[in-house]
């Protein structure tokens, strides 16, 4: 008999990513794993889509005795708010945080937020199941918990070596049609403006170790599923929900070339007509692979290019070079797949010449789209975060603030600090909860331009 009888899994409200909210794959995998182990009283609420009001109603009506909450760094306070409300409704309810932020900042969370009872670090399926089942907390690897006020961090849990053994996500616990379309135009005969984009993964982890990313620290390596298993998943979603549009949320989709080709062959063999987006590295594709991806319905691939400056690629530990970038861009276009260049601007020690080299590269490869936020966000667990701490720009106390992330405005490696930009960031942040946000942003952009003009003229 499991210790916990009613399990509620929550994606917090107001955690959209650039105006879009992908489905909470991590929670759907967690739910399917529990159900496969005989834990059937599981409910999933994606409050990012359904809203806070629906979530609160579900907590009151469902009366969960265990609430598992997904927690990314920008949405950490939203996750903490869910835990607080669950405790308010039922003080005996236990709360669990999982995801990248609590995996990295477990001690801070349990030290400062009494509404959190447990943290599941890293890969969560087995750890969470053992907690639900009633195994003693001291014997659950990957769990962080408290005993008599003392925080106890159990040893790491070994990763699941065979990802094919994990049941497919429990899509039946959410309504996929509530997720908005995402895309422009018609691809492979499919209108992207009308079709829900289904999230899917081929792998966990990444081969890279970029200074701005913490994936390597969380996943500790790269594992992949079989192409046959992934094709089965897509076919199942097509049959069950009429799915047509898919996006792979892997760090490196094509990390295993042969399995991706096997997947594409299966999609072609089964005559499944879909539109697919994926993200990968420029050094993990070739002409044959891209040809198969095109046949399977891939209409766009996003590549983590980041910079067109050879020196910057070394500084951020990208482990690639301009020739590979240009070669991959050429092959992608030749395969008639759209090319999206994921770029970063404002990196530490980036000079004006480095930026010009990035612009030069973009003119050469002519991407169909460019993905960039126009500034560098610093997150815990990254080498860049350690650089910022060593430069005394930030410390762990920052994550107790309400700011979603730290925006780099100079101060590392001799970079001059842009105090005006810092001030502007602060004003925009303070006004971000008011209808004046856009007006304030435009005002300071214009003020900054005027300031630069005055400086140049003097």
Please report, for the domain that includes residue 113, its CATH number.
3.40.50.2300
Q: Are 340 and 300 in contact (CB under 8 A)?
A: yes
Which residue, among 373, 377, 380, has the nearest Cα to 100 in the 3D structure? 380
pLDDT tens digits along 423-455: 988 888 887 654 544 555 555 555 555 555 555
3-state secondary structure of 209: coil
Domains held by the chain: number: 3
DSSP per residue over 82-106, as a string? HHHHHHHH-TT-EEEEESHHHHHSH
Q: Which pLDDT score is estimated for 33?
A: 98
Same domain, 125 and 185: no
Asked if residue 206 and residue 130 are part of one domain, the reply reads: no
Residue 383 included in any domain: no
Residues 187 and 317 reside in one and the same domain = yes
Same domain, 211 and 89: no
CA distance 273 to 266: 12
Residue 381 in any domain: the answer is no
Amino acid 419: pLDDT: 93
Contacts for 428 with CB less than 8 Å, ≥ 6 apart? 437, 440, 441, 444
Residue 293 domain-assigned? yes
| Residue 40, domain member (yes or no) | yes
Q: Do 192 and 298 belong to one domain?
A: yes
Please check whether residues 208 and 296 belong to one and the same domain: yes
Our CA dihedral for 166, 29, 73, 137, rounded to 10 degrees, sits at -70
pLDDT of 417 reads: 95
Specify if 96 maps to a domain.
yes
Domain boundary among 321, 341, 374: 374
Q: pTM value?
A: 0.91
Which CATH number fits the domain that encloses residue 334?
A: 3.20.20.70
Q: What is the pLDDT along the chain (458 residues), one digit of tens a residue?
A: 789 999 999 999 998 766 678 889 999 999 999 999 999 999 999 999 999 999 999 999 999 999 999 999 999 999 999 999 999 999 999 999 999 999 999 999 999 999 999 999 999 999 999 999 999 999 999 999 999 999 999 999 999 999 999 999 999 999 998 888 999 999 999 999 999 999 999 999 998 899 999 988 888 889 999 999 999 999 999 999 999 999 999 999 999 999 999 999 999 999 999 999 999 999 999 999 999 999 999 999 999 999 999 999 999 999 999 999 999 999 999 999 999 999 999 999 999 999 999 999 999 999 999 999 889 999 999 999 999 999 999 999 999 999 999 999 999 999 999 999 999 888 888 876 545 445 555 555 555 555 555 555 55
- Owning domain of residue 91: 7-153
Q: What's the order of all strands across the beta sheet hosting 150-153?
A: 42-46, 7-11, 66-70, 94-98, 118-120, 143-147, 150-153
Among the three residues 374, 404, 430, which one is the final residue of a domain in this structure?
Answer: 374
What is the per-residue pLDDT for 415? 95
Same domain, residue pair 232 and 314: yes
Same domain, 303 and 366: yes
Q: 145 and 187: one domain?
A: no
Residues 93 and 202 in one domain: no
The answer to whether residue 408 is domain-embedded is no
Please report whether residue 284 resides in a domain.
yes
How do residues 169-189 score in pLDDT, each as one tens digit? 999 999 998 888 999 999 999
- 169 inside domain: no
Q: Which residue has tokens 């990196």? A: 347
Same structural domain, 22 and 95: yes
Residues 190 and 320 in one domain: yes
């Amino acid at each position: 008999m499991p210790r916990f009888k009613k399990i509620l899994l929550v994606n917090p409200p107001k955690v959209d990513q650039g105006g879009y909210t992908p489905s909470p794959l991590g929670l759907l995998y967690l739910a399917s794993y529990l159900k496969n182990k005989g834990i059937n009283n599981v409910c999933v609420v994606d409050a990012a889509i359904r809203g806070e009001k629906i979530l609160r109603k579900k907590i009151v009506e469902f009366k969960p005795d265990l609430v598992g909450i997904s927690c990314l760094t920008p949405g950490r306070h939203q996750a903490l708010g869910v835990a607080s409300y669950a405790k308010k409704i039922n003080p005996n309810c236990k709360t669990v945080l999982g995801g990248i932020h609590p995996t990295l900042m477990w001690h801070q969370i349990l030290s400062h937020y009494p509404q959190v009872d447990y943290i599941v670090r890293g890969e969560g399926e087995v750890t969470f199941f053992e907690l639900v089942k009633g195994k003693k907390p001291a014997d659950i690897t990957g769990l962080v918990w408290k005993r008599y006020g003392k925080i106890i961090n159990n040893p790491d849990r070994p990763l699941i070596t065979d990802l094919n053994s994990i049941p497919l996500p429990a899509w039946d616990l959410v309504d996929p049609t509530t997720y908005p379309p995402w895309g422009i135009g018609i691809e492979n005969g499919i209108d992207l403006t009308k079709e829900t984009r289904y999230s899917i993964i081929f792998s966990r982890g990444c081969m890279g170790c970029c200074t701005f990313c913490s994936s390597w620290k969380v996943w500790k390596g790269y594992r992949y599923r079989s192409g046959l298993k992934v094709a089965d998943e897509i076919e199942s979603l097509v049959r069950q929900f009429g799915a047509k549009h898919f996006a792979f949320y892997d760090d490196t989709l094509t990390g295993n070339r042969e399995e991706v080709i096997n997947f594409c062959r299966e999609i072609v063999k089964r005559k499944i007509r879909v539109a697919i987006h994926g993200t990968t590295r420029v050094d993990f594709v070739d002409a044959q692979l891209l040809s198969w991806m095109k046949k399977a319905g891939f209409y766009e691939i996003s590549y983590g290019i980041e910079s067109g400056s050879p020196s910057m690629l070394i500084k951020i530990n990208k482990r690639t070079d301009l020739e590979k970038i240009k070669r991959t861009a050429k092959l992608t276009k030749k395969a008639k797949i759209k090319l999206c260049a994921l770029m970063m601007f404002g990196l530490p020690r980036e000079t004006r010449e480095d930026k010009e080299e990035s612009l030069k590269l973009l003119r050469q490869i002519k991407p169909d789209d460019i993905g960039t936020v126009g500034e560098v966000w610093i997150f815990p667990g990254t080498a860049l975060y350690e650089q910022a701490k060593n430069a005394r720009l930030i410390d762990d106390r920052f994550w107790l603030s309400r700011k979603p992330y730290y925006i780099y405005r100079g101060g590392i490696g001799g970079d001059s600090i842009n105090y005006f930009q810092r001030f502007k960031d602060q004003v925009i942040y303070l006004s971000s909860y008011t209808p004046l946000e856009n007006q304030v942003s435009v005002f300071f952009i214009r003020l900054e331009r005027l300031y630069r003009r005055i400086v140049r003229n003097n």
